[in-house]
C-alpha cells in the first residue's frame, strides 16, 4: 500500500526446542508509515526483538519464521533469496543493537567498521569511503572525526560507541532504521543525546524507524505510533498522543499506571498482579487474562482477534 | 529519631594501568570523601549515573569492600576497628540486595536453602523449625509455599528478586542496602518490587539505602536523597525539597531529562580529568572560579549543595 515503508502481515515465528514448539511471534500485523517512528513496547520475552530479527530474517536457530509476509519497498522479504536479502540488510534497512559494548568488533578500528558496510553495499573504493566515513562521524556528533576514525572501540565510552553504531546503521542511507533498545545501557544524559541525535537523523534523512524499548517514558516524547506487545502478540496499536491520553487495553493501562511518574503523595504504586507468563506455558484464550481485572468468560477460552477501531487504533481485546 | 548509620569522609580509590604495557597508573577516585547519615527507619536514596561510584559507596558502607579512608559508624560502632568475628556477627544487622537476581542467587540451591542459610548461620533458627520460619518469610515477600523447593532457574526475574529480598530480611536486619534492585526487571514487575520494599519498611521498620539511577523510583521510595557525580556528593537533602528546588546544575539536568515531554538537544562532550569542579566540562552555568578548586558541600540539614555559583545570577 502507498505511504507505508513496511507492512508485516500475519507473521508467525516459533522456536523448535526438542519436541516442543514455542511460538515467539503470533499473528503479528503492523505497518510503519514513511518518515514515521513506530515504538514497539514490551517486557522481556514479549517478542519485540524477535519481530526485528524476523524482519531482517536473522532469527537465530532453533527459531524459524513459519508464515506471514513482510512487505518492504514493494518486495516480500520472506520470499527473497539469501543473496537478495543480504543486499537489503545494512543497506536499505539499518540496524542498531542494544549493547554498544558487544556490537562492535573490538580489534578493528572504528573507521574501518563504518567503511566495511559502504564497501560491501556501494562498491566504493577505500579512498572514497574514507571521506564518507569521516562525514558520517561528524554527522553523529564527533567533533574530531579524523581522530575517531583510527580509534578502537575500547577507547570510546558507551555513548560514543552507540553513536558509531548509528553511523554504521545510517551509512548507506537506509529507508528504515531498526533500533533495538538503543539507550537501555546508557545514562540518562547520554540517553537524551542519543535520542535527540536519532530524532534529528530521521527528520533530515527522511527515514522511518522501528524503535524497540521497554521504556514507556521514552515513547511519550519520541515516537509517532506505539505498539504494545505481550507474549508474542500485539495487544494495542495507536498514535502516541492518543495512546497516552486514553490507553484502551487493560495491559496498557496497567503499564502506564505502574511507571514511576513524578507524582507525589501516593503511598503505593498501582501494579499489574501476577507474573509475565513463560512462552512455553501460555494460558488458553487471551494471553493476558490471568492478570487482567476485566477478564470475562470468553477471554479464558478464545483469543480475541485484532480489531480496527478506526483513527489508526487497533486492539486485541473483547472489551471493545 | 536517632542515627543508625553515619559515614564520615569515606574514600575508595582504584589504580588502573594506563595500558597493558606501561607501568604508569591512573588513580580513580571511585568514592571521594563522601559523608552521609541515615536515620533509623528512614530510606536514603543514592542517585548517580554509571561510573559515579554509587555501587562502590554501597559496598564500602557494608565493608564488602574495605574503604581506603574515612569512617563508618553503625549504631555508634566504628566498623574500621572491628575484628573479623565481630564484623561477622554484625552482618546479620546489615544486608544487601544486588541488582541482578540472575547472578546473585546460587543456581544449585533451592529457595529453602537460600533463605534458610542466613537463619541457621546467625542462629535464628534450629533445623527443625527452619521450614516454618522460611514459610513466614515467603508470605512476607508475596510467594506461596510451592516456592520452597524451587531452584532459581525455575523462577522469573521478579520472583528471584523477591527471594533475594527474602534472604536479606531473614535475619531481621536493621539496615538493607539495595543496589539497583529493580533496574533489571520488567516494568510491570518493578512496581511490584518497589511496593514490596515499602511494605517491608513499614512492617519491619528497616532502614534502607536505595541505590538507583532512576530518579522517579528514588523519589517515590526515599525520605532523603544524595546525588553523586564522579565520586562526590553534589547535592543532598530531603527528597521533596531536592526535587522541587534542585540547586546543582547536574541535579537540574537529571530532573529535567525525566520530566521533559520532548527531546532536548544535549551537547555532546568529552569530559576528561582536569582541575577544579568535576562537573565543569558539562556545566551550563560555569565560571572562572569553577576551574580552580573543588566546591565543598554546604547548606543546612534540609538541603546541601556543592557548587560555587548555583545562587549567583547569570
Strand partners, B38: B5
Using the Cβ of B265 and the Cβ atoms of chain A, whether some distance falls under 8 Å is answered with: yes
Q: Is the dihedral of CA B128, B133, B136, B138 positive or negative?
A: negative
A138 touches chain B (CB under 8 A): no
Which of A107, A142, A258 would best serve as a mutation to test chain B binding (most B beta carbons within 10 A)?
A: A258
- Within an 8 Å CB–CB cutoff, is residue A311 touching chain B? no
Rounded-to-integer distance, Cα B35 and Cα B11, Å: 10
Q: Is A107 on the interface with B (CB under 8 A)?
A: no
For residue B304, give the C-alpha cell.
546541601
Rounded to an integer, the average pLDDT of B32-37 is 91
- Of B228, B232, B269, the C-alpha closest to A190 is B269
- Residues making up chain A, counted from first to last: 320
> Which of A192, A217, A264 lies nearest to residue B240, judging by beta carbons?
A264
Q: Between residues B219 and B44, which one has the greater pLDDT?
A: B44
- Residue ranges of A 52-91 with Cβ closer than 8 A to chain B: none
pLDDT digits (tens, 9 = 90+) for B179-188: 989 888 888 8
Does the beta-carbon distance from B263 to A216 stay under 8 Å?
A: no
- Closest-approach residue (CA) in chain B for A46: B186
* Alpha-carbon separation of residue A264 from A219, A261, A317, B296 (angstroms): 22, 9, 32, 30
Q: Please report the pLDDT score of residue A265 as a whole number.
A: 60
Considering only alpha carbons, which residue of chain B is nearest residue A220?
B261
> Does the pLDDT value for residue B263 go beyond 60?
no
Residue B70: is its pLDDT beyond 60? yes
Lowest mean pLDDT among A265-274, A309-318, B55-64, B195-204: A265-274
Q: Using alpha carbons only, what angle is made at residue B19 by residues B14 and B23, rounded to the nearest 5 degrees?
A: 75
- Closest-CA distance of chain A to residue B259, Å: 7
Is any Cβ of chain B less than 8 angstroms from the Cβ of A220?
yes
Chain A residues in contact with B184 by the CB 8 A cut-off are none
Q: Which CATH class is domain A4-92+172-315?
A: alpha beta
Contacts of B273 (CB under 8 A, 6+ apart): none
User: Tell me, what's the pLDDT at A1?
Assistant: 46
Q: What is the residue extent of each domain of chain A?
A: 4-92+172-315
ipTM, 2 dp: 0.75
Find where cell 524497540 sits: A212
| Domain spans, chain B | 3-18+25-305
Pairing of strands A20-33, B298-299: unpaired
Q: With an 8 Å Cβ cutoff, are A275 and B189 in contact? A: yes
Of B190, B219, B267, nearest to A262 by CB-CB distance is B219
Average pLDDT, chain B: 87
Whether B215 and chain A come into contact, CB under 8 Å, resolves to: yes
Q: Where are the alpha helices (DSSP H) in chain A?
A: 48-55, 82-86, 100-103, 110-122, 126-139, 145-149, 158-170, 188-205, 216-222, 240-245, 250-258, 297-301
Fold designation for B3-18+25-305: Rossmann fold (3.40.50)
Which helix or strand (DSSP H or E) is residue A35 part of?
none
Report how far Cα A87 is from the mean position of its chain's Cα atoms. 21
CB spacing of A191 vs B257 below 8 angstroms: yes
User: What does the pLDDT read at residue A225?
Assistant: 94
pLDDT reported for residue B260: 61
Chain A hits for B262, Cβ within 8 Å = 221
Residue of B nearest to A262 (CA): B216
Does pLDDT of B269 surpass 60?
no
- Among B43, B268, B271, the strongest candidate for a mutation testing the A interface, having the largest count of A CBs within 10 A, is B268
pLDDT at A261: 60
Q: Which of A260, A276, A280, A292 would you mutate first to test chain B, the one with the most B CBs within 10 A?
A: A260
Q: Is A61 left (phi over 0), alpha (psi -120 to 50) or beta?
A: beta
Percentage of the residues of chain B whose pLDDT score is greater than 90: 47
**What string of pLDDT tens digits covers the 320 residues of chain A?**
458 999 999 999 999 988 888 999 999 999 999 999 999 998 888 888 899 999 999 999 899 999 999 999 889 999 999 999 999 998 999 999 877 778 889 999 999 999 988 998 888 888 889 999 999 998 888 888 888 999 999 888 888 888 899 999 999 999 999 999 888 777 777 788 788 888 888 888 889 999 999 888 888 888 899 999 999 999 999 999 999 999 999 999 988 887 766 555 667 777 888 888 888 888 999 999 999 989 999 999 999 999 999 889 999 999 98
Residues 277-296 of A with CB under 8 A from B: 278
Confidence label for B226 from pLDDT (cuts 50, 70 and 90): very high
Q: Which three cell numbers stand for residue A175?
A: 529507508
Helix (H, G, I), strand (E, B) or coil at B184: coil
Chain B residues with beta carbon closer than 8 angstroms to that of A267: 198
Q: Please report, rounded to a whole number, the percentage of residues in chain B having pLDDT higher than 70.
A: 93
B259 interface with A at CB cutoff 8 Å:
yes
Among candidates A261, A121, A204, which has minimal Cα distance to B259?
A: A261
Q: How far is CA A111 from the centre of its chain?
A: 26
Distance from the Cα of B114 to chain A's closest Cα (Å) equals 21
Check pLDDT > 90 for residue B284: no
| Contact: A192, B266; criterion CB under 8 Å | yes
d(CA B29, CA B306): 17
Which of A196, A214, A264 is the closest to B187 by Cβ?
A214
Q: How far apart are CA A39 and CA A50, in angstroms?
A: 14
- Tell me the three cell numbers of residue A92: 536499505
What is the average pLDDT across B229-250?
Answer: 92
A272 touches chain B (CB under 8 A): yes
CB atoms within 10 A of CB A305: 10
Contact A275 B187 (CB under 8 A): no
Min Cα distance B254 → chain A (Å) is 7
Amino acid at each position: 500500500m502507498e505511504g507505508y515503508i513496511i507492512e508485516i502481515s500475519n507473521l508467525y515465528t516459533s522456536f523448535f526446542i526438542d519436541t516442543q514448539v514455542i511460538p515467539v511471534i503470533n499473528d503479528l500485523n503492523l505497518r510503519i508509515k514513511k518518515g514515521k517512528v513506530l515504538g514497539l513496547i514490551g517486557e522481556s520475552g514479549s517478542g519485540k526483538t524477535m519481530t526485528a530479527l524476523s524482519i531482517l530474517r536473522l532469527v537465530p536457530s532453533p527459531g524459524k519464521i513459519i508464515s506471514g509476509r513482510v512487505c518492504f519497498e514493494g518486495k516480500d522479504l520472506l520470499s527473497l533469496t539469501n543473496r537478495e536479502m543480504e543486499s537489503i540488510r545494512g543497506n536499505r534497512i539499518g540496524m542498531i543493537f542494544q549493547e554498544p559494548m558487544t556490537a562492535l568488533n573490538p580489534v578493528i578500528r572504528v573507521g574501518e567498521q563504518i567503511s566495511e558496510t559502504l564497501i560491501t553495499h556501494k562498491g566504493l573504493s577505500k579512498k572514497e569511503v574514507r571521506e564518507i566515513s569521516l562525514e558520517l562521524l561528524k554527522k553523529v556528533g564527533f567533533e574530531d572525526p579524523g581522530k575517531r576514525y583510527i580509534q578502537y572501540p575500547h577507547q570510546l565510552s558507551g555513548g560514543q560507541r552507540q553513536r558509531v553504531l548509528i553511523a554504521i546503521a545510517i551509512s548507506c542511507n537506509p529507508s528504515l532504521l531498526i533500533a533495538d533498545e538503543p539507550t537501555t545501557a546508557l545514562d540518562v544524559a547520554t540517553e537524551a543525546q542519543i535520542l535527540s541525535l536519532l530524532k534529528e537523523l530521521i527528520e533530515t534523512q527522511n527515514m522511518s524507524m522501528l524503535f524497540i524499548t521497554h521504556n514507556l517514558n521514552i515513547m511519550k516524547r519520541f515516537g509517532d505510533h506505539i505498539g504494545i506487545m505481550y507474549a508474542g502478540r500485539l495487544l494495542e496499536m495507536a498514535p502516541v498522543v492518543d495512546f497516552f491520553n486514553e490507553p484502551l487495553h487493560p495491559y496498557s493501562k496497567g503499564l502506564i499506571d505502574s511507571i514511576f511518574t513524578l507524582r507525589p503523595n501516593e503511598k503505593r504504586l498501582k501494579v499489574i498482579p501476577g507474573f509475565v507468563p513463560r512462552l512455553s506455558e501460555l494460558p488458553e484464550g487471551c494471553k493476558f487474562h490471568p492478570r487482567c481485572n476485566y477478564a470475562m468468560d470468553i477471554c479464558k477460552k478464545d483469543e480475541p482477534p485484532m480489531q480496527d477501531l478506526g483513527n489508526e487504533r487497533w486492539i486485541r481485546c473483547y472489551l471493545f | 529519631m536517632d542515627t543508625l548509620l553515619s559515614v564520615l569522609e569515606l574514600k575508595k580509590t582504584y589504580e588502573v594501568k594506563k595500558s597493558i604495557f606501561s607501568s604508569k597508573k591512573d588513580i580513580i577516585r571511585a568514592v571521594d570523601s563522601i559523608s552521609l547519615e541515615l536515620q533509623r527507619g528512614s530510606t536514603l536514596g543514592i542517585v548517580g549515573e554509571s561510573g559515579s561510584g554509587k555501587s562502590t559507596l554501597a559496598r564500602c558502607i557494608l565493608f564488602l569492600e574495605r574503604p581506603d579512608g574515612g569512617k563508618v559508624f553503625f549504631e555508634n560502632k566504628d566498623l574500621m576497628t572491628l575484628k573479623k568475628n565481630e564484623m561477622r556477627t554484625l552482618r546479620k544487622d546489615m544486608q544487601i540486595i544486588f541488582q541482578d537476581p540472575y547472578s546473585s542467587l546460587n543456581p544449585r540451591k533451592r529457595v529453602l536453602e537460600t533463605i534458610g542459610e542466613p537463619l541457621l548461620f546467625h542462629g535464628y533458627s534450629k533445623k527443625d523449625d527452619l521450614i516454618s520460619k522460611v514459610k513466614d518469610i515467603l508470605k512476607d515477600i508475596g510467594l506461596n509455599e510451592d516456592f520452597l523447593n524451587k531452584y532459581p532457574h525455575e523462577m522469573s526475574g521478579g520472583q528471584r528478586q523477591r527471594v533475594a529480598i527474602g534472604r536479606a530480611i531473614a535475619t531481621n536486619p536493621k539496615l538493607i542496602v539495595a543496589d539497583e534492585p529493580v533496574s533489571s526487571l520488567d516494568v510491570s514487575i518493578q512496581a511490584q518490587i518497589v511496593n514490596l520494599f515499602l511494605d517491608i519498611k513499614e512492617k519491619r521498620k528497616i532502614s534502607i539505602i536505595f541505590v538507583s539511577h532512576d530518579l522517579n523510583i528514588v523519589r517515590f521510595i526515599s525520605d532523603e536523597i544524595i546525588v553523586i557525580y564522579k565520586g562526590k556528593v553534589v547535592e543532598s537533602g530531603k527528597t521533596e525539597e531536592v526535587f522541587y528546588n534542585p540547586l546543582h546544575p547536574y541535579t537540574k539536568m537529571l530532573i529535567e531529562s525525566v520530566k521533559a515531554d520532548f527531546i532536548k538537544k544535549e551537547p555532546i562532550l568529552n569530559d576528561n580529568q582536569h582541575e577544579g569542579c568535576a562537573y565543569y566540562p558539562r556545566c551550563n552555568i560555569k565560571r572562572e572560579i569553577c576551574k580552580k578548586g573543588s566546591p565543598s558541600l554546604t547548606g543546612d540539614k534540609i538541603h546541601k549543595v556543592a557548587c560555587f555559583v548555583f545562587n549567583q545570577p547569570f
